Structure 1
Amino acid sequence: MSEKDLSIDTSDFTNIRPSDFPLLTAYIVGRGLQSEERYVKALRYIDTGLRRGEIRNIAWKESKDALSRFVDHAWEKLIDEPYFWGKRAQSEDLYQFGWDVRVSGLHGVTAAKKRADKTKLEGPAVEAARNLLNELQPLTDAVNSLKAHIVKGREPNPDPKPENPNKVVRTCPCCFRGIAVQSNRMVHHGYERPWEGMQTASCMGIHYKPLERSDEGLRAAITGMENHITRRENDLAEKDTKTTLSVKNSRGQVIEITPEHKGWASALQDWEYRVKSNIRISKETLVALKDKLSVWKQTEFDPERPDAEFDVSGDASRGPKVI
């Protein structure tokens, strides 16, 4: 895969190029122009950051998130579908290998590569997983190397728009993005569910105060994640009692099938694989949420709790103005 296969010019890249990641790039090209644009934009952020020795926080996060989503989808298309979904995995050991090395983003690549290198299993599935992980490791390293060189804030705009003097932006306690605040609550916004990869119309953080003022929203996010994991684990425990499954037929249409259907066993194995992957990703997210809670401190005045003490050692400009 070379830059010529992309519809977008990448001749200005100097440190990393799309051609450095032929499997991932080939998958992106097959998805269409919009995916190419997001992919190249993310890589350009990383390439520019490596060249400058610094990267804006918003650019680093946007590129990391975009690349992680592409990695998740590419793994499903290049590894899961041809080798592990249904009864294509020929042994329990191989099926377990597929589960052990399955990555849902850049954050899992290094550990998965170590497991893939260590296994004594051989065959097309193992080779395919190793090839993709070997390709993704340098990309992961490049993204991670910039973490120590993050610069807060956006790139200065040469022609800035007039700012609303009354607008106050703080951290959403559930999705952790910078969101405007009104009446001591986050304004309405959507976000991508970390455990489902789906864009939602409304983040649950809109019901809570900014993270700088309260940990209520963060605690609610933890509870929501714990409940989600419990539901999925219960679903998995009741696998043998399922009576219907939703699958796509040869024309891409979603249909309902029952245990009498000839494809039931294969579909049930696919479903189990996806649920286990979902649980693993959710547990990783839960650990990250709890880590945030363990170091949380109130850093701004909360008008609803005027007597509460808060840490003023941070940026004084972030208080006491309240909206």
Structure 2
Amino acid sequence: MALRSSTFCAKQLLVRQLVQIHRTLGNMGKSKILKSFPRLQKAFQSAEDEDFRDQFESAMNTVSGFGEEKPYKVEVKAADNSLKELTDIAWQRLIKDPYAGDDAVDPDIKKLFLRLKHGSVEQIERSLTLLADSGKHGKVISAAWEVLKEIEGIHWSVFSASESAKKGTPPDLLSRGLGTCSCCFGEFHVRNEKMVRHGQRKIQDYMWSPTCYGVAYPPLEISTQGLEEFIGRYERGREQLIAEIADPEAIQTVPLKTKEGVGKLNRGEAGFDKALDAYVVKLKRDVQDMTADLEILRDRLEHWSSKLSNEPKGPGR
């Protein structure tokens, strides 16, 4: 995280204050942490949000120094991932959903809100500047400001924890509530023997999707089921592309990029043959990428299968 030197000392003071607040709350009981973020707390008040509340408490416990020992960097990273997911949900519930579709809200404020980001301290500082310079006032602006400030405090707590965290990987991830995802192979929190929600990074091109396929499965420390099914899904997708390449005459529609987005072009329409040629070239590239991906996935399946077969079976395993 790049830091602005002019604000570094002030931010470090903020970190120490936040950590002290969290430690004080910890003496009252770890379940009280969310109450120190009153705006975010409102996003997770329903009975159905119990899992979200537990995730928040667990992640903040990690970055606020409640443990008997310093966390590992991988634990801080997992906590950071959980907190980013939760703050995304909170922003959606507290700001986007209530105000984006409200006809009573000033259209200029709606446009302003589209520019607000909260994924890092730098983004939040820019967002706060946009709010301050907008000349807008009222309940809506105040709500956005307060939510951003609470999320900023979380970012700085994570930064403070990452600075002092231990390097390396703990000997037993599961004992620390972590596991390895069977799809993206990232190390994230585990709840009820399943991976918590997290974004997916593709193996080759490093693009992100909102939710990883592996969240429905146990971590690889428990089972390779998710990886096996993911490989099967990948193989079926690859075979489907190969079938399309083998019989281009059967392709009746191809995607077409337009100014409005991605449309489609039907066989018989002007330009279809040229678009079909380009589409087939793309399919061939996709098959090459998927073939490389599958080689990596199969190697990792072999590694984890061997690791699981050699591990002693403990109680409940």
* Superposition TM-score, scaled by structure 1 size: 0.45
Computing the radius of gyration over CA atoms, which structure comes out larger, 1 or 2?
A: 2
Higher helix proportion (structure 1 or 2): 2
